[in-house]
Structure 1
Amino acid sequence: MSRCYCHKKAGDRMSDVFRIAAGYILPHPPVIVPGVSREPHLAQRTVSAMRQLAAEVAALQPETVVVISPHAPLFSDYVFFYDSKELAGDFGKFGARQASLSFQQDDDLLHEISHRLASADIDGGSLTSSQLRQHQIDETLDHGVLVPLWFMREKWTDFRLVAMSCSGLPLPELYRVGELIRQAAARLNRRILIIASGDQSHKVNDSSPYGACPEGAAYDNQLIDCLRRNDLTDVLAIDSHLRERAAECGYRSIVILCGALNRQAVRAEVLNYEAPYGIGYCVAALRPDLVQAEPVEDAMQSALKQQRQAAAHKRQHSSPPVIIARETLEAHVLKQQAKSARDFAGLPDSAFLFRERAGVFVSLKKFGELRGCIGTTAPTTACIADEIIQNAVSAGCHDPRFPPVSADELADLVYSVDVLGEPEPVTDRNQLDVKRYGVIVRFNGRSGLLLPDLEGVDTVDEQLSIACRKAGINPREKYQIQRFEVTRHT
C-alpha cells in the first residue's frame, strides 16, 4: 500500500499529524496508584513527572486518548482492541478494588482504525463474544491502560478512549499500525493523544524481583539517550538481542507511537527516568514540532536501512555452514533449484561438514525477529552439509509458524546454524546450564528439544518447562532429560 503522504502538500501533512496532540511514553507500576500499597512507594519522581504531563493534557484538550498496552490481550499476529461502550477496570488484582476507572469508548475512531487495518491487510480489531470466550479474555481494562490514565484523569476527564494491545507482529507492521491510527484520526478530524504504556527493562539492577543483567541497564540507557537526542531512527534500531535480554515490556508500544508520528518532526523530552525497584520507569513526551513543517525522513525505513547494512556485513563474513544454508534457500526460492553437498565442496575450512554426521538446526531472523527455525535432533542424512541443506529449505519454507520466505525477503535474512553434539543422560538438574547445554525431554514416546543460550531463557526451570510444553509433556511427570552441546555458526 502506498503511503498517504506521497501526494500531499506540506500544509496538508501538518493538518494530518497535528490531529495528534502529543505522544507520551509512560510506565504502569500499580504501586504508584493510591490505595494499592500500604507503604510509601519509591517512585515519587515518576508520579511527579506523570502529573506534570497530566497538566499538559488539560491544556491540549484531546478529544480521544489512545492507549497502547503490552498487558492487553496479546496475539502474535493480531492487533487486539478492547470494544465496549463503557471501558472499565480496577486494581482488584493488586488489592485495591475500590480504585477503579471507567471511560466512554470512541466507537467511530475504533471502527475507522479497524477499517484501515483491514485495507492494509493487517489483522486487527475487536473480537466477538464467542472469540473472547474461546481465548478466555476478560475485557476489563488491564493495568497497562489504567495506571497512566489514573494520573491523566486527575487533570482532564473530557475525553473518550481507544485501548489496544501492541501485538507480536513484526516491527515494521507495528509502525504501520501507528500510521493508520494517525490517518484514522485525521479522517474523523479527531484530536488525539497517544500513550505508549510500558515499563522498560525489568532487570536494571539488583532491586528487581526478576534479577539483574548487564543488558537491562544497557537497554534503558540506550533508549533514554536516543530520546534525549531526539533520534527516533536510533530508537527503532535498538538491537533485538539487547531488548530481549533486558526483559522490557514497553518497546512495541513505542514503535506504534513512532509510526503515528512518521515523517513528522518531533521534540522529544525525557521528564524522568528511575528504577527504584529494578524496573525502568521512563516518563517521556514526543510533541509534534510546530515550527518545522516539512516532512522528515521516515524513521522506520532509516532503521531498516541500518539493519540491512548490518545483515550485508554479516553475509560478507559468513561461516561455511551459513553459506550453505543461505545459498541453498536462495536457490530454492529464486530458481526452484535443489542444492547438494558436492555444490559446496570447495568451501574453505569445511572438510568436517562432508565427513561427519550430526543433528542440525537452521535459524532465520529478519530485522531481529525469528523468521523460521527447523532442525533435526539426530543425523538423518549422509553428512552435516546435507543436513544443513535439508533443514535450510524446511526453515525457510515449511516452518508452520510462518509463511514461506519470499524472494523479496532474502536479502533481509540473517542465518545461524547449530550443529548438535551427542546427547548424554542427565541424572541431576545441577548438571544443566542454559548457556552451555541444550536439553531433550522424553516421556511416553513424546519428546521435546530446546537449544542452549536462547534469548529470554535464563533458568534451567524455564528451559525444561518450554521443552516439556513443546513435547506436550506435563512438567510434573517423571520425564527423562538429556543434555547436549552445540557449535553455533553465524
Structure 2
Amino acid sequence: MPKIRPPAVAGQFYPDSVLRLQDFLNEFLVSPSPCDTAPVTALIVPHAGLRYSGETAAIAFSVVDPARWRHIVLIGPTHHRWFHGIAVAPHDFFRTPLGEVPVDTAVCNALVAVDTLFEMNEDAHVPEHALEVELPFIQHLMPECPIIPLVCGDLTPDEIRKAAAALEAVLPPETLFVVSSDFTHYGERFDYVPFAEEEAPEALRKLDHGAINEITRQDTNGFMRYCERTGATICGQRPIAIMLALNELRQAGGNFELLHYTNTGEMLEDYSSTVSYAAIVYRAAEVEDDLVMSEETVDVLLNVAHDAIASELANEEYHLPSTAPPHLYDNGACFVTLRLRGDLRGCMGTLEAKESLLENIERNAVNAAFHDPRFPPLTATEFRDVDLQISCLTPRRPIASIDDFELGRHGIILEKDGKHAVFLPQVAAEQQWDRETTMRHLERKAGLRAGSWRQGSQLYVFETICCASPEHRAESD
C-alpha cells in the first residue's frame, strides 16, 4: 500500500478548499514570456503563508517552463526537528487538497545509498511546512512531475559540498531544482535584533540584499561567510548553499536573477516582527551560435577530433589543448560523424552534457572511429580520406506530439520501455523523410515494434550547431 505524507498546514498556510486554492493559483501564476529564452533551471522561493509570501513565490514559479522538466528537487530547512544531515522522505506521495504529488522514490533511494549524509527520516517531514507550501504551485504547473523531497538539518561547509557532489552524481537529466527559503527573520520573537526598529526598513533591505548579492555572484563560500558574519536568519541558508555548490560543480555558466523582494514589515507597516521574501531564479547559459561557430572554434573542435583519432591509431596518449577558448571547457554534448568518400563510416555521440565539450569530442571521435558496432575499426589508410563532422547539441526538451518536431531543424529522441533511439537533424533531411517516416525508422532503430511509438513513449527534440569542412581532411602523421 502506498505511503502517503498527509498535509500538515492546509487551512493554515494555504487554503484547504480546492476552489480557493485554484483561484489563487489561477490569479497569480502566469505563463512564461516568449522572450524568456534562457531556461530557468533553479529557483529560490519563500514558504510562509500564501497571504504573505504566495505572490512572491508565484512570480518565480511563473517563469518556469513546465515542459522542460521530468523531476523536481524540492529542498528546504527544518523548522520542527533538530538533526544532522539531510532528511529524505520515505513516502510514495505527498498529499494536498489538490491531490497527490508522486515522490521519485528511485532517486531518493539512490541518494541514501550514495552518501550517509542522506537518511530516510519520516519525523523531519511529517510536520514540516517548508516543502508543503510549494506543492500547490508544482501541482498546478507540473502535475505529473515527481518530486525529490529533502529537508536540511545541520551541515558543515564541507558536508554542504559533499551533499552537492552526491546530488550531481545521482540526479537525472531534466531535474528542476527548487529551494524553499525565507530570508531574514527580524524581531524579538526570532531572537534577532541587530538594529533598532526605526532603522529596520532600510537596514533589513540592505542585510537581505547583501546575501542576495552573494547568491547572484554564485559564491558559495562568500554566501556562507556572509550569513555567519552577519548572523542573518535566513532559514534556508544551507539548502541555498547546496544549490550554489552544485552549480559550481557543474560550471553551469548561467546567472541568478532577483525577480521580487518584499517583507511583512513593508506589507503590514509594522517592523517589530518581520520576515523577508525573495523570488530568485537561475537562468542557464544560452550558447550563441556565432560564438560557438567562430572560425577559431571550428578549427579547435575539428583538430581535437582529428588528433584524438590519430593518437589512437599511433597507440599514443592524447592530451587536450590547454589554450582553447574558455567556453569550450564548459560541459557540452556532441555527436562526431565520420564519412569516407561521402558514405557514413561511423557516428557516435552523447545526449547529456556530463563533461567538457572538448572531452566529449575526444571521446566520441575515438568511439566513432573504432567502436561503432556497425563498422570495423578505422584503418590508417581510410583515415587519410575521412571527413569529420561535429554536431554540438542544445539541451533536449520534451514534445507532446510529432507536430512539434520540425524536420531539418530538430534532432529527435524516442524513449519507450527502457529502449531509445536518436536521429540527428540532418538524417531526416538527407533521407527526405516526412515525420511519419522518420518515426517508423526511429522505432525500428530502437528495436520497437511498428507503430508502438504512438502510445506510452517519450519524445524529445534538440538542435545542433555543426562544425564540418569538406576541406578539413584527416591526414595521417
Whether TM-score is above 0.5 comes out as no
TM-score scaled by structure 1?
0.43
TM-score scaled by structure 2?
0.44
